[in-house]
Structure 1
């Protein structure tokens, strides 16, 4: 009877040691006498006490790590990187779990290898580029790293889910020089734009002024033509009137000089009525009158000859 409680106690201990509960998102690697045996999935599992041992529990969830390191460009500029790496176990297949469990002696060794591999891949890429190119090659750097380490990570049983370059910065001296280059480039662009705007403004103003001068000249030309035509018509009408008057006076046996005298007196009257000045100077002497009459008779003869030629 004494052995019954002892037996029950041993059975309870064995049962307790046989039960293995694996948490969700985790698998357990079982070994027998140090050799791989099998993988326990999440949930309630059983193992042989004292023979089967849990070698390692492996998380199959995504894990992240932050990186901070420095690289040197082809033109010897120091570039400071801050990155975040997201990785996970490739899948839950047995061969993949064996690689994760046995490729590295512990988790710290794997992390060191992973970080140094990514840093080396980025450094090798940056070493082929100039500092002025680096800031615009963020996506190219990420693609380069993934293409370089995806196969290697798969052989370790892992997969690179994401790589983010959160910050790319140069040394303070280089940053100041780059800022000066950008500022000078902006000033140059602003000056060029201002010069182009001023040129366009001046060109448009000159074109407008030229068009205004052209329009004014055309208007003046047209006005001069109209004035000339008016004067010509006026003279033509005057000549016709004088010819008619001379004809009537000749038929009445009167001296045609009276027409000229009448024109002379009408002109003096017109000057007096319409002139804006206070004094009108006319040569009222006999010689002046005779001279004026001769000029008017000469004009009449020219108009008469012109009319004869037209007929």
Structure 2
């Protein structure tokens, strides 16, 4: 009767040791007397107690690690890098899991090898570049690292999922000098743009002024031509009118000087009607009128129209 409960407890203990629960995203590597035997997948599994042992549980999920290190450029400038590395087990094949489980003695050794490999790859790339080129080569650095270590990581059973260079910084002295270079370049560009804008403005203003002067000159020329044509036409019409009047007066046997007297009186009337002044001084004496008539006759003698000059010539 005593052996019954004992056997039950012993059987329960053996079952407890035989049951293995593997979490999702994880696999368990089983060894028999220290030798690799098989891989257990996620879920409920069973093993032989005391013979099969769980050597290692391996996560097949993505893992990340942050890196901070320094590199030196070809022109001896110190560059500080801060990076984030994302990696994972290559796949769930048996050979891949065996590599992950047995290549390194533990996880710490693997992480140390991985970090140092990536740092060395970046340092070797940066050592061939000048400090002025580094900031623009972020994507080239990442591609260089991936091409350098992808094959190596696959031999370890891992895959480099992503590498991000979150920060690339130089020493404070270099950063200040770079800021000064950028500021001076911006000032130079601003001055050049301002000069170009001023040149364009002045050129356009000069062109506009030149066009305005040209238009004004053309308008003045046209106006002068029109005024000259108007004066010539006026003189022609006056001469024709005077010639007709002279013919009429000769036919009536009247003195042609009356024409000049009529012009004189019309001129006085025009002055009175259109002048802006308040007073007109006239010499109304016989001598004054005679003097005026002689002046008008002298003007008419200068007329280039032969007909009028012959008519108004005093006898």
Q: Name the CA shift for 1:162/1:301 in 2 (closer, same or farther; >3 Å).
A: closer
Q: Is the 8 A contact 2:301 2:309 kept in 1?
A: no
Alignment partner of 1:85: what SS? strand
Alignment partner of 2:254: what SS? coil
Structure 2 matches for 1:120-269, cutoff 5 A?
120-269=120-269
Q: Name the CA shift for 1:44/1:286 in 2 (closer, same or farther; >3 Å).
A: closer
Q: Is the 8 A contact 1:88 1:160 kept in 2?
A: yes
Q: Is the 8 A contact 1:260 1:297 kept in 2?
A: no
- Counterpart of 1:71 in structure 2 is 71
State the shift of 1:294 in Å.
4.1
Q: Name the CA shift for 1:145/1:303 in 2 (closer, same or farther; >3 Å).
A: farther
TM-score, normalisation: structure 1:
0.89
Gaps of 5+ in 1: 307-311
288, 296, 305: which one pairs with 2:300? 296
Q: Is the 8 A contact 1:261 1:293 kept in 2?
A: no
Structure 2 matches for 1:7-156, cutoff 5 A?
7-156=7-156
- Counterpart of 2:313 in structure 1 is none
TM-score, normalisation: structure 2:
0.88
State the shift of 1:44 in Å.
2.0
CA distance in 1, matches of 2:282, 2:75: 97
Alignment partner of 2:136: what SS? coil
CA distance in 1, matches of 2:298, 2:22: 142
Q: Is the 8 A contact 1:69 1:82 kept in 2?
A: yes
CA distance in 2, matches of 1:230, 1:168: 86
Q: Is the 8 A contact 1:29 1:40 kept in 2?
A: yes
Q: What CA deviation, in whole Å up to 9, does each residue of 1:36-72 have, x standing for no partner? A: 1111222222222222222211111111111001111
Please identify, of 18-27 and 62-71, the stretch whose mean Cα deviation from structure 2 is larger.
18-27
CA distance in 2, matches of 1:35, 1:202: 90
CA distance in 2, matches of 1:107, 1:300: 124
Alignment partner of 1:249: what SS? helix
Q: Name the CA shift for 1:189/1:227 in 2 (closer, same or farther; >3 Å).
A: same
State the shift of 1:15 in Å.
3.0
Q: Name the CA shift for 1:257/1:297 in 2 (closer, same or farther; >3 Å).
A: farther
Q: Name the CA shift for 1:305/1:274 in 2 (closer, same or farther; >3 Å).
A: closer
CA distance in 2, matches of 1:244, 1:37: 144
State the shift of 1:231 in Å.
0.6
Q: Name the CA shift for 1:301/1:55 in 2 (closer, same or farther; >3 Å).
A: closer
Q: Name the CA shift for 1:26/1:294 in 2 (closer, same or farther; >3 Å).
A: closer
- Counterpart of 1:309 in structure 2 is none
Q: Name the CA shift for 1:2/1:253 in 2 (closer, same or farther; >3 Å).
A: closer
State the shift of 1:144 in Å.
1.5
Q: Is the 8 A contact 2:260 2:293 kept in 1?
A: no
State the shift of 1:109 in Å.
0.7
273, 284, 287: which one pairs with 2:288? 284
CA distance in 2, matches of 1:60, 1:215: 85
Q: Name the CA shift for 1:23/1:181 in 2 (closer, same or farther; >3 Å).
A: same
